[in-house]
Each structure stands twice: as C-alpha cells, then as structure tokens.
Structure 1
Amino acid sequence: MAEAKALRVRGLVIAPGVDPISQTIAPGEIVGLAGLDGHGQERFLRALAGLEQPVAGEIAVDGKAGSITSFRKAVAGGIAYLPRDRRSTGIFPTQSVLDNFAISTVSNDRRLGLLSFAARRRRYEAYRQRLGIVAPRPDAAITTLSGGNQQKVLLARALALEPSFLLLNDPTRGVDVATRHVLYDVFRGLAAEGMALVILSSEIEEILLLCHRVLVFREQRVSAEFSGAEMTTDTVIAAMFGRAA
C-alpha cells in the first residue's frame, strides 16, 4: 500500500448557496457519510473521487501538487472509488472475472514490455485469497458469480491500485450477511494498515459498527458530525431530519 497520507477538503461547496465543507481524513481513519437520499452525501463522495465538480473549494492529497479535479487526478493521488451500482457502473458483464479485476492495472502485468498473463493470475490469486472470492475459475464470466462475489472482485480491482484512500459508495448493498461481515473485516484491516476509508452507507447500523466518526448531510451540507459516545442511532437519525436528539 502507498505511504500513509491525509486527504484534505477545504471550503468545498457541493451546491449553490450552501455552507462550505472543510475536513481532514487521516490515515487509518474510517469516516462514515449519512443522510437522507439526495441530501449531498453521494455528491460529496463523488467529488472526492473526481467524478463530480464542486461549486467551489479544493480537495488535495498530502504531498501532491494541485487539487483533485478529475477521476484521473484522483487515481494519481492514490484515491480508489467503489461505485454503488455494480451492474451498471462497476462490472464489465461480457468480460471474465480476471479481466474485470485487472482492467485498471494492466500495466502491472507487463514483463519486458509484453503482457504476462501469469503475472496477472498471480495478482488476482493474492486478492482472491485475501477477500475470499468464490469463483469457479479466473476465466469464468463475472456474471456467473453471486452479487457478493462480484462486489469482492470490484473491491480487489480497487485495492490493486494500492491506494491511500478508499471511497466506498454503499459497499454492502445487495450482498448477503456472510459477505457483509467479510467486507467489514477487510475494511477494518485496511484501516489498521494505515489506509483512510470514506464509507457512504444507507444503513446507520453499518456506519456505527465500522466508522470512527460520521458526517451527517442535510440540504447539501454537513449538518452534524459525531464521534465516540455521541455517535448513536438516535443522534444520527435526528440530525438527518434536522432535529436535536
């Protein structure tokens, strides 16, 4: 994994006329994003990934010149993004498990200028074991896998970039309970190794279980931030609806 760095958000405005957001996401931290649908949490996450342009402000990575203004710059800055809808924006349904895994890191499989399929299989195998991907064989169509295993392949693809920051858009949506707990263990392990994670989740219990702190979005701004003992279901739900707990 890349050297531990912080992701710094300065004066970020994600919609016209709303308060700016300033945050520092530290190495080894898991930050949750919560809010009612359409209140800005997904827009914020996509801005961090360089997929959506903010109205104003800057997103920067320690030690990197310039701000994150595109997906390419985000990847170059050590940011990996796992999309919410794996079927429409994640997997390549006509491709194999192996090709879906390797599509973002093809250059890692070159040996003496030539593509090494053995190197690609070795890389895939390391992530298959770490994430517990259940697939009949690497050349099987990705559509033959369960939803949970497709999600693990997408996570493996993101981790193969060796990012400092992992942005997760509802990562356990539509996966079974067993897979969900495998993913939780992986996320905690990545944070323990120094990776920073930002997790948007539609399930408050998931955020409370995984995250060190939570940013609650309401009307396109961060309306509340909780950590430690104050981070409870009641406080988060109250903030989502604009009420005091």
Structure 2
Amino acid sequence: MDPVLEVVDATKEFGGVRALDGVSFALRPGEVHALVGENGAGKSTLIKVLTGVHRPDSGQLRHRGEPVVFTRPAQAQQAGISTIYQEVNLIPLMSVAGNLFLGREPRNRWGLVDRARMNEMAERVLAGYGIREDVRRPLGTLAVGAQQMVALARAVATDAHVVIMDEPTSSLEPREVETLFGVIEELHRRDIAIVYVSHRMDELYRICDRVTVLRDGKHVHTGPLAELPRIELVSMMLGREVGDIRAHGTTGFGEDHHAGREPVLRAEHLASGQRLRDVSLTVRPGEVVGLAGLLGSGRSETARAIVGALPLDSGTVLLGGKSLPRGDVAAAVRSGVALLAEDRKAEGIVPNLSVRENIVLAALPRLSRFGVVSRARQDRVVETFMRRLRIKASSPDQKVAELSGGNQQKVLLARWLCTEPKVLLLDEPTRGIDVGAKAEVQALVDELAKEGLAVLLISSEMEELVDGADRLVVLKDGAVVDELVGEQVTEGNVLAAIASGGERR
C-alpha cells in the first residue's frame, strides 16, 4: 500500500545541532502509527516537518506519492493533514461552537454566520465525543479534557485524511480516553491515517498497528508493534541492548545502607489527575534516591508535587514527620525543601541579573534584618558558594546569562544551598551541560549527600541514575512500579521494571 504521507531522508538543524539526521518515515492510509522516543529524539521536529511548521534542510516530503513543500501549517491543513497538540491551541474566549467550526461557519442566504444552526450542529457533533456542554460557552470555561476533545472533533471534522495526535490522552480522564479510542477505531474504519505520539505503552500496544522509534534525531526502527516485545521497544528508545538488560538484571534483594535512619522526607500516595496516580517514596539523610522512568512517567510531577507546585487530589508530604501544607511552595521552601527545576531558563536563572543576585534570590529573607538586606552578608554567602561550587565568572557582578550552561547550573545549586535545605530535589541537573561540568555537578551531589543532605535525583540518563543513586524508585504512568536497592540498582532491572510494570522477579 502506497504511503499517504512520507518523509524521505530528512535532516533539520537548529544552531548547529541536528534535530533530525536523515530520518525517513512513511504513513499508510488507515493505519494507526506510533511515533516514540525520549526527550530530544526528534519527534516534535518530525511532526513540524510533516505539518509545515518547519521545512527540512535536506530530504523530501511526499503527499500521496507526490513531492510537496509546505511553507506554513495552513497549507498542510488544506491538504488534509490535521494536528491535535498536547496543549490545546484553540481560542479560549470564543464559544465552543465557534472553535469547532472556525473558518467553516454555516451561513444563511445573506452570507452571515447562522449561529443557531452552528450551535445545533456543534451539539450533535460533540455528543458523539461524550461532550454535553452548552456550546455557547467560551471554550476556556470547559475542563482541559473537554477542550482536548473539542480540538479532536475539530481536527476530524475538517475532512482530514491524516490526523496527528501529540500526547492526546495527557489531559483526559479514563472515560474520555475510552471515547478517544472509540473515535480512533472509527477513523481507522474510514481509512484515515493517524500518527499517534504517546509515552504510555499500554495505549500504544492497544491501538497502534506500526511503530517508528527515533533516538537522538535518528531513525532506529519501524515495524509492526504487535511483533515487538515491550522490553525491546524500551531498549530501542533508550539505546540499550536487550541482551545487556537480561544479563545485568539481578535477583534477590540488595542491601540498603541507609535503612536504619529515619526518613527526612516521606511522600505518601500522591495523586494528581492523570499525571500522578499513586506515588509513595522516602528519602533519608545522606541518601541519594533516584527517580527512574520514561518520559511522562511522572518523575518531574512527583518533584513538583512534593514542593507544592503541582496541585494534589490526594496524598501527603511529610518533612521530618510533619505534614507540609498542600500547594504552598513558600511553606515548603521555609521548611527546608528545595527544587532545582528541569528548565533552568524558564524556571531557574534570571538572565538579566548578576551571579550575586541570582545566588541570594531565595535566601533574601534570611539575609535581611527588619526588611534591610545586608550587602556584607550577601557578599560572604556569595563568596562562600562561588568558591565551594567552583563557579567560573569574572566577578559576582557578571550577568548570569553570560556564563556557560554548567556554571549557570552551579549558580542555581548555590541559590538553593544557601537556604540550608534538608531535602534537595534535582530535576535533570546535568541536562544541556558539557561533560566536564556534568562530572563536577555529579561530584557536588555526592559531596552534599555525604554531608547529610537528603537528595532526590531525577534524570533521563540511566547511567547517571545507576552511578549516582543509593536507591531507585521506578515510575510508570504516574505510579511506582518497583524499588531497587543496593546491587539491584542496575540498568537491566530498571528497564525490565519499566517494560513489565514491576514484574521483575
């Protein structure tokens, strides 16, 4: 069967970094094709090439067998290629019906929008998706899951023959997920092709016919999903040999050298929508506990929930035996919880401020007396941490934006360390920094743990977790599926737990 949409040997660079490196991808009519890979694999770039957001630097895009060049997304939409993004990209202040028929509004004989007929048609269409809301309401007043279903209904209603779904279930409740799968089955019967991007393997194996795996911008595998064991799919995504996984897997129980100590941090049955379903963990003084799992497993969400930045439906966070108030980041920080967020540019450094100002930002309340901040106390703190963390800057007054990525990461570490935390949550602390800086940050983490600090380490790099953690908690789909201690902490056991859902022994 000839592909309906195809990319041949596509390459795309951004600032000298290859996001796609000779990638080929073919989508057949009527199939549900899974597109998988970890962060930085190239999935988003490939989707943007398919939909006209980006033009490849080299290679060819073919639509129904003919070479085509999409210079903007509207051209791809006109060609019958619709995309449903993880973040709803409709108009919140416009009515539900208006969003559903945007650009295709029914009109009366005078050429005016027939709102009564549009509302009636919208109600009928959305009923098929399990949505029974007042279609005259602004879209933004609906729950996120309902908005996602409106986006799906709009994409399908545009006479598309290709629908690209980017993490479509991330905001949906279980009932809505079942409705979505019913819609996908109907699209399949109508010979509409679907590109399905998801990190949830249960979903992939339930609804997808074929799978394409990307890693580091390269094409790794394409083939029938039913013929690919889960452990092989995980190994392809992470770049580990299946033989190594099975050989390195251990049986029996390892030794927990910190078992005698009372936990400083205890998280119990944390749940938040579909992002976290049931996460419990402990961290003891001087212990580095790693959070392992694929993209979307709930690693970052767990850290954000602990510090109060993610609203919880249920669950408790205790620090030193005392419960932390839900949703109160300031209270968590005052109590001794510090979070080094994954995105240091968006949630970390303040680029226009100096190194000094960035370091003392979180500690200003401690450095002030009667509302007056002592410059001398600031200087002592900044000098101490710049020396201890070996931050390379011309002076404390240099703009932090002028530093290397590794030194910016050290500045953020210094910011939280000068608050004298009891627990340090590190979310991808070495992402985007060079090898030398990475080794320095990892050595600092070890040093802090030896001094008695409790550390929760999140990393997409398996080697970093295995080498740096005393104990590993493995997450999958927002729940804990395994816990590895001592000699159990191997890449093989982590990957086996992810693939099997914790049925390691």
TM over 0.5, shorter chain: yes
* Alignment of structure 1 residues 25-104 onto 2, 5 Å: 25-64=283-322, 66-104=324-362
d(CA) in 1 for partners of 2:396, 2:486: 42
Equivalent residue number for residue 7 of structure 2: none
d(CA) in 1 for partners of 2:407, 2:334: 27
Shift of 1:64: 3.4
| Contact 1:5–1:164 under 8 Å retained in 2 | no
SS in 1 for 2:455: strand
| 1:174-232 Cα distance to aligned partner (Å, 9 max, x none) | 11111111111211111111110001100010001110111111111011111111111
d(CA) in 2 for partners of 1:177, 1:17: 32
Shift of 1:23: 2.3
d(CA) in 1 for partners of 2:454, 2:369: 31
Aligned amino acid, residue 76 of structure 1 = R
* Percent identity of equivalent pairs: 38
Query: Which has the larger Rg?
Result: 2
Shift of 1:151: 0.5
| Contact 2:289–2:456 under 8 Å retained in 1 | yes
d(CA) in 1 for partners of 2:329, 2:359: 19
Match of 2:449 among 168, 176, 191: 191
d(CA) in 1 for partners of 2:405, 2:275: 40
Shift of 1:10: 1.8
- In structure 2, stretches of 5+ residues that fail to align are 1-261
Equivalent residue number for residue 155 of structure 1: 413
Aligned amino acid, residue 443 of structure 2 = D
d(CA) in 2 for partners of 1:124, 1:162: 14
Shift of 1:34: 1.1
| Contact 1:33–1:217 under 8 Å retained in 2 | yes
Equivalent residue number for residue 373 of structure 2: 115
Aligned amino acid, residue 233 of structure 1 = E
CA separation of 1:173 and 1:66: change in aligned 2, threshold 3 A: closer
Match of 1:204 among 456, 462, 467: 462
Shift of 1:17: 10
| Contact 1:14–1:40 under 8 Å retained in 2 | no
Equivalent residue number for residue 435 of structure 2: 177
d(CA) in 1 for partners of 2:303, 2:276: 17
CA separation of 1:186 and 1:17: change in aligned 2, threshold 3 A: closer
Shift of 1:65: 5.1
Q: CA RMSD in A?
A: 2.0
TM, length-normalised to structure 1: 0.92
| 1:31-74 Cα distance to aligned partner (Å, 9 max, x none) | 00111111111111111111102221100111535545321121
d(CA) in 2 for partners of 1:169, 1:17: 16
Equivalent residue number for residue 87 of structure 2: none
- In structure 1, stretches of 5+ residues that fail to align are none
SS in 1 for 2:289: strand
Q: How many residues align?
A: 242
